[in-house]
Amino acid sequence: MTNHFNDIRHSKLLFFIGSNAAEAHPVAMQYILYAKEVNNAPVIVVDPRFTKLAAKATDYVRIRPGTDTAFLMGLINQLIQNDWYDKEFVRTRVAGFEELKKEASHYTPEVVEDITGVPAKEVVRIAKLLADNRPGTVIWCMGITQHHIGSSNTRACCILQLMLGNMGKSGGGTNIFRGHDNVQGATDMCVLSHSLPGYYGLSDKAWKHWCKVWGVDYEWIKSRFYNKKYMNKPGFTLARWYQGVIQEDKITQYTPIKAVVFWGISSQSISQYHKVKKAFEQLDLVVVIDPFFNTTAAMCEKDNVYVLPSTSQYETEGSVTSSCRQAQWRYKVVNPVYDSKTDYEIMEEFVKRFGFADKFYKNIKKIPEDITREIANGCLTIGLCGWLPERIKKHTDNWHTFDIDTLQAKGGPCDGEYYGLPWPCWTEDHPGTPILYDISKPVAKGGLPFRARFGTEYTYPDGRKENLLAAEGVANPGSEIMGGYPEFPGWKTDKNVIKEAIKRGMAPFGNARARCYCWNFPDPVPKHREPLHSPRPDLIKKYPTYPDKPDHYRVYTRYKSEQKPELAKEFPIVLITGRVVEHMGGGDETRSNKYLAELMPEVYAEINPRLANDYGLRDGEMVWIESPEGGRIKIKVKVTERVDDKTIFIPYSFSGMFMGRSMLSNYPQGFEPYAIGEPANIVTNYGYDIKTQIQGTKECLCRIKKA
């Protein structure tokens, strides 16, 4: 999130696309409803499904799954064509406008209607609403990201806000409501196969930086790898690691995967889940570490699995980063119950036995505080230098002293600081940055320009040259240079450079323009591409997907060869998945809570009355849903108008059933969850984002049969 939940109080318009905050982020609703009622802000909800959030909308737009970029580009085109865009903002802080304009011009209201199903008039009306009610916030979740063009979707959202001049402003911003409690923190730490902590990537420079922080010899770390190439090569992802085992698609590493460790994570969140189960059967070793006996363990039907009880996070402590980049200290409530161990203790058991404890814990004596300090020493890129454990604790201890409107402390021990020191928190006395890219405040007081990450000038394919730095006169108050400037050399590895920049009123990472044309993406300007499994075969030729990618996170990933127009004949119904408020993620925790299990005890498929009647299905009857990949699940029909007559929705937090079979006998007695059901991901399809490899679970095809 560029802004924060509380800041939505200042929004004059709320534009949700692929987010169902009412179920996924219920406590954020107070700010959404505040803006709606107090500011009279239009609440636009763009979603294939009439969600609980849509029920609170002033304007609901039903869109065909997988066509978000087309819709967003249609809006952008309207803003440009009608001169409704923020010309001054574009002139001073945006790059690649000409290229954007050219690409966007394709998406006329009529073209958008054909692709998305949204009436042409609606496209114009929504664009006008956006233009007339500024600043507005754009909010999205996995409805935008889980597509094979997910990265284009997200960029189109950002470009929309750039055109409206809504970036870096209170009430504006691009606000991605993230899922899990610490998914922001874990992302910042880059528990990711393509980067070291702090988004440093995997370059030699990145490794050398981190070796220095860890206090270990770079050559030693290098010697731990198969060879140097594999140090710099992104690894398998959560979405496709199992292909390293079953190898249906060719893998590009020297060995198959032989062992997997699932540490605080569900496996049933992975699409084509029946193939994941196949991998469990072929592995030599599966290690599950979790507070509950989870689905992964129950899916392993070979003697190759160990299950270790970790504590819940209430039996340990540490910092946790909320969606708005705020750190809070999650204090320990009680000591570990039963014979469970904290994650830190389990880590120590591993590291000790692997024989590198002295190196691993070189700077870490007191856990977790010394780890927080090591992070602050290493993660300069996102300005975690100011996140000292005592500061984070001080904020949590004094949470009552912060203003709910600005999140700034009014007096007290944290006076003037923003709650949770939202990153970048550049120095040990920086107050945090509550709103990213806000040039109305000095950098030392939480202001920030756009980052200069891609050089100072670029030549577009047509020969046009553009300065990538912000225009003359545009900078944070107190900046030594009143205008664009490049990044400070060495700021990512030297805290003194950061301090020097702040002292001079400048951002360490420079002051640039935000790019609408990203030459390092397959589609420099976002463009529509039909879902791999498209219900509109007639559009595939016009909007085809990408060529296949032979080495995409170590595995061949099909695009063009997977996009077959004839598929829709056999699998005519669109399938989407999503959340219910009662459950979380894979649901192993919430379905082990008897109250939540009682509130939402079983999985179901939402089917439109027309579709149900055509198939002779009555509410409450059982239906088989089948995927093109051979997954099938048997679930209850919920006849409802929430979905249209081409689309089925299934909540994804269930497990314990597998393609019609109960897996309960695989649980040790007494450890079964209170509620079980078929995992929706057994029927989600093949398809991965071209850049990030996120799975495309919001653009699937299926067929149904009465059970």
Partner 1 sequence: MAARKIISRKAPSGRKFTLNPKVARRSFMKIAAAVTALTGLALSGRLTKEAEAKAKKSPYSQSKIVRTICTYCSVGCGIYAEVENDVWVRQEIAQDHPVSRGGHCCKGAGAIDMVNSEKRLKYPLKRQNGRWVKISWEQAMDEICSKLLDIRKKYGPDAVHWNGSAKVSTEMAYLQRKLAAFWGTNNIDHQARI
Of 142 and 650, CB closest to partner 1 = 142
What does the alpha-carbon distance between residue 374 and residue 388 come to, in Å, rounded to a whole number? 9
Least distance CB 537 / partner 1 (angstroms): 27
Of 179 and 565, CB closest to partner 1 = 179
Least distance CB 518 / partner 1 (angstroms): 20
Least distance CB 379 / partner 1 (angstroms): 9
338: left (phi over 0), alpha (psi -120 to 50) or beta: left
Of 303 and 462, CB closest to partner 1 = 303
Residue 666 and residue 592 in contact, taking contact as beta carbons nearer than 8 Å: no
What does the alpha-carbon distance between residue 304 and residue 319 come to, in Å, rounded to a whole number? 34
CB burial class (10 A; 0-12, 13-18, 19+) of residue 429? exposed
Least distance CB 178 / partner 1 (angstroms): 4
Contacts with 497 (C-beta within 8 Å, 6 or more apart), sequence order: 488, 489, 490, 491, 508
What does the alpha-carbon distance between residue 658 and residue 656 come to, in Å, rounded to a whole number? 7
Q: Closest Cα partner for 179 from 72, 265, 95, 117?
A: 265
CB burial class (10 A; 0-12, 13-18, 19+) of residue 236? buried
Q: Closest Cα partner for 319 from 199, 213, 422?
A: 422
Of 609 and 668, CB closest to partner 1 = 668
Count of C-beta atoms within a 10 Å radius of residue 539? 19
Least distance CB 660 / partner 1 (angstroms): 21
Of 323 and 381, CB closest to partner 1 = 323
Concatenating the DSSP letter of every residue in 146-158 gives SSTTHHHHHHHHH
Least distance CB 375 / partner 1 (angstroms): 5
Least distance CB 512 / partner 1 (angstroms): 26
Least distance CB 153 / partner 1 (angstroms): 15
- Token pair of 472, please? 């003359």
Of 196 and 603, CB closest to partner 1 = 196
What does the alpha-carbon distance between residue 306 and residue 298 come to, in Å, rounded to a whole number? 11
Least distance CB 554 / partner 1 (angstroms): 8
Concatenating the DSSP letter of every residue in 573-597 gives EEEEEE--TT--TTSTTGGGSHHHH
HEC profile for 233-266? Answer: CCCCCCCCCCHHHHCCCCECCCCCCCEEEEECCC
Least distance CB 149 / partner 1 (angstroms): 16
CB burial class (10 A; 0-12, 13-18, 19+) of residue 489? exposed
Beta bridge partners of 677: 656
Q: Closest Cα partner for 158 from 173, 136, 143?
A: 173
What does the alpha-carbon distance between residue 179 and residue 188 come to, in Å, rounded to a whole number? 14
Least distance CB 569 / partner 1 (angstroms): 29
Of 111 and 190, CB closest to partner 1 = 190
Least distance CB 217 / partner 1 (angstroms): 12
Of 45 and 260, CB closest to partner 1 = 260
Least distance CB 563 / partner 1 (angstroms): 21
Of 270 and 643, CB closest to partner 1 = 270
Locus of tokens 């390293």: 244
Residues in the chain: 707
Of 88 and 204, CB closest to partner 1 = 204
Of 305 and 625, CB closest to partner 1 = 305
CB burial class (10 A; 0-12, 13-18, 19+) of residue 544? middle
Of 94 and 202, CB closest to partner 1 = 202
Of 263 and 460, CB closest to partner 1 = 263
Long-range contacts of residues 344-353, Cβ cutoff 8 Å, at least 24 apart: 344/316, 344/368, 346/289, 346/308, 346/310
What does the alpha-carbon distance between residue 379 and residue 492 come to, in Å, rounded to a whole number? 8
Least distance CB 134 / partner 1 (angstroms): 25
What does the alpha-carbon distance between residue 651 and residue 587 come to, in Å, rounded to a whole number? 10
Of 103 and 188, CB closest to partner 1 = 188
Phi then psi for residue 452, to 5 deg, are -95, 85
